[in-house]
Amino acid sequence: MTIFEESKKYIPGGVNSPVRAFGSVGGDPVIVKSAKGSKVYDENGKEYIDYVCSWGPMITGHADPDIIKAVKDAADLGTSFGAPTKAELDIAKKICSMVPSVEMVRLVSSGTEALMSAIRLARAYTERDKIIKFEGCYHGHSDSLLVKAGSGALTFNQPSSPGVPADFTKHTLVAQYNDIESIKKLLAENKGEVACILIEPVAANMGVVLPAAGFLEDLRRVCDDEGVVLLFDEVITGFRLAAGGAQEYFNIKPDITTMGKIIGGGLPVGAFGGKSEIMKMLSPDGAVYQAGTLSGNPLATAAGLTMLNKLSQPDFYKNLRQKADTLFDGMADNCKKLGLDYAYNRIESLSCLFFKDGTVTSFADAMKTDTKLYAKYFHAMLDRGITIAPAQFEAMFVSAAHTDEDIEKTVKAHYESLKEIV
C-alpha cells in the first residue's frame, strides 16, 4: 500500500488541507520528503522545481538556512512559555515598521484565525453586524466567511459548506470584485449596518485577478463616506508584492490588515493589525475577546522575524521581480509562439495562467476557464519535474531561490506542456 493509500485510512482524504489531494487534477499527490531552495523532493528522491512554495510562504526558498538556524536557536531556549517574550516585541515593531497602516499588531497562528479575530474587532469598533466580502475571495475557513469563497472552496464547487448554519452567514453580504457599483448597492440597501468590507487587494484565490485601476481607491472612499472599516486581507499579498504588501504597492491604507503565510517563514503564524484606536479595543486593553495558547510562539516568531529581516534587505523585491519577469515573460512568449490567446494575469512574483481566451478581470471571467485543460497542463508540467498548484484557482509563486537555470527549464517545460495538451 502506498503512503497516500494508507494515509486515506487515517486522515480524511489522506491530507490535512483539501487542495493538496489533487482532487481537481486527478491522480495521487506527490508525497514530499524534503525541500531545499527552489526544489522539493518526494519519498523516492525525485526532484521537482517548485512553484507552490507551500502556497506562498517560502518566498526566500525552502529550508532557508537563516530561518532554520533561527528556529533551532529558539528551540534551544524552549518551545513555548505562555508568557510574553522580547521576540514578540521585536517582530511587532518590525511589522509596524514595514506595513504602512499598521500601528499595533496581534499575532495568531493562522490566516483563518487572523480574519476571524479582525472581523470581530471591526464589528465591535463600528457596533454593526454586517460584513461585505467579494465573490471568489478566500478568507480562511471560519463559518461566516465560507460564503462564495475562493481557493479550495471553489475547486470543490462548494460555494458554502454543509455544517455552516444559515444563521451564521446571514450577516455576510457578497459583492463582485472590481465592481464598485455592487458595493454601493449593498451599502445603500444596508445603510448604517455594515461593519467592514474585506478584500484581497489582489485576488489570489480565484486564480490571480488584479484590481482594476481606481477600484481600491473607490473602495477606500466609500468606506470613509459610510464609516465602514476597510479590511485588507494581505495573507498572500503581504510581504509578497512589496515589503509593505499591497497597501504599499497601491498606496492605499486600509483600517485593518490581516497577514499570514510569508510572515511565519514556513511556521504557523498569522497576524492582524491596524490603527491603534481600533487595536486597543482588544482584550486585555479593551473588551473584545481574542486569545491563543500558542500565539507569538517562540519558534514561529523567530522564523517570522528572520524572514522579515531578509525581506528588508535592499533590492530584495527588485531581484525577485527580475526573476519573475524572466519566467512570466517566457511563459507569455510561449503562448504567443503557439498562437494561444489565454488570459495570463501577473503582478510582481505572482501569476496565473487561465485556460480562457482574452482577459480575466472578474470572478465571472475566472469561472470561464477550462479546468480540465488546466488538469492536463498540471500533469504535463509535473511529468517534466515541475510542481505548480494542483488547481486552477491558485497562484504560481516565484521565490528568491529560483535560479536562472530553474527558470530556463521551466519556460522550456511550459512550452512543451502547452504543445502537448492543446
Ligand X SMILES: *Cc1c(COP(=O)(O)O)cnc(C)c1O
Q: Which residues are catalytically annotated?
A: 138, 233, 261
In the complex, what is the shortest distance from the CB of residue 239 to ligand X, in angstroms, rounded to a whole number? Answer: 13
* Straight-line distance from the first to the last Cα atom of the chain, in angstroms, rounded to the nearest whole number: 35
Query: Contact letters (x/-) for ligand X, 33-62, by CB under 6 A?
Result: ------------------------------
d(CA 118, CA 338): 46
Closer of 258 and 334 to ligand X (Cβ): 258
Closer of 307 and 413 to ligand X (Cβ): 307
Query: Contact letters (x/-) for ligand X, 360-379, by CB under 6 A?
Result: --------------------
Choosing from 138, 215, 239, 374, the residue that interacts with ligand X (CB under 6 A) is 138
Q: Is residue 111 involved in binding ligand X (CB under 6 A)?
A: yes
What is the SS3 assignment for 93?
A: helix
Question: Are the C-beta atoms of 355 and 342 separated by less than 8 Å?
Answer: yes
Question: Are the C-beta atoms of 257 and 238 separated by less than 8 Å?
Answer: yes
Residues 179-218 that bind ligand X (CB under 6 A): 200, 205
Report the number of secondary-structure helices (H) and strands (E) in the chain: 15, 14
- CB-facing half-sphere around the CA of 334: CA atoms within 13 A: 23
Q: Is residue 394 involved in binding ligand X (CB under 6 A)?
A: no
Closer of 140 and 304 to ligand X (Cβ): 140
Query: Contact letters (x/-) for ligand X, 327-356, by CB under 6 A?
Result: ------------------------------
What is the bridge-based pairing of β-strands 270-274 and 256-259?
Answer: antiparallel
Query: For residue 356, what is the enclosing H or E element?
Result: strand 350-357
Q: Is residue 140 involved in binding ligand X (CB under 6 A)?
A: yes
Q: Is residue 233 involved in binding ligand X (CB under 6 A)?
A: yes
Place of cell 494508507: 6
Choosing from 20, 39, 139, 346, the residue that interacts with ligand X (CB under 6 A) is 139
Q: Is 194 left (phi over 0), alpha (psi -120 to 50) or beta?
A: beta
Q: Is residue 133 involved in binding ligand X (CB under 6 A)?
A: no
Runs of H (alpha helix) within 77-214: 86-98, 111-126, 152-155, 166-169, 180-189
What is the SS3 assignment for 274?
A: strand
Closer of 24 and 112 to ligand X (Cβ): 112
d(CA 290, CA 281): 10
Residues 244-263 that bind ligand X (CB under 6 A): 260
Closer of 110 and 178 to ligand X (Cβ): 110
- CB-facing half-sphere around the CA of 284: CA atoms within 13 A: 1
Residue 56 cell numbers, joined: 506562498
Question: Are the C-beta atoms of 418 and 340 separated by less than 8 Å?
Answer: yes
Which stretch, 41-49, 73-81, 91-99, 111-119, contacts ligand X (CB under 6 A)?
Answer: 111-119
Chain residue at closest Cβ approach to ligand X? 111
Choosing from 174, 235, 267, 278, the residue that interacts with ligand X (CB under 6 A) is 235
In the complex, what is the shortest distance from the CB of residue 142 to ligand X, in angstroms, rounded to a whole number? Answer: 9
Q: Is residue 265 involved in binding ligand X (CB under 6 A)?
A: no
Helices 404-421 & 316-337, crossing angle to 10 degrees? 30
In the complex, what is the shortest distance from the CB of residue 17 to ligand X, in angstroms, rounded to a whole number? Answer: 7
In the complex, what is the shortest distance from the CB of residue 111 to ligand X, in angstroms, rounded to a whole number? Answer: 2
Choosing from 110, 172, 306, 410, the residue that interacts with ligand X (CB under 6 A) is 110
CB atoms within 10 A of CB 86: 8
Residues in contact with ligand X by CB under 6 A are 110-112, 115, 138-140, 200, 205, 233, 235-236, 260, 270
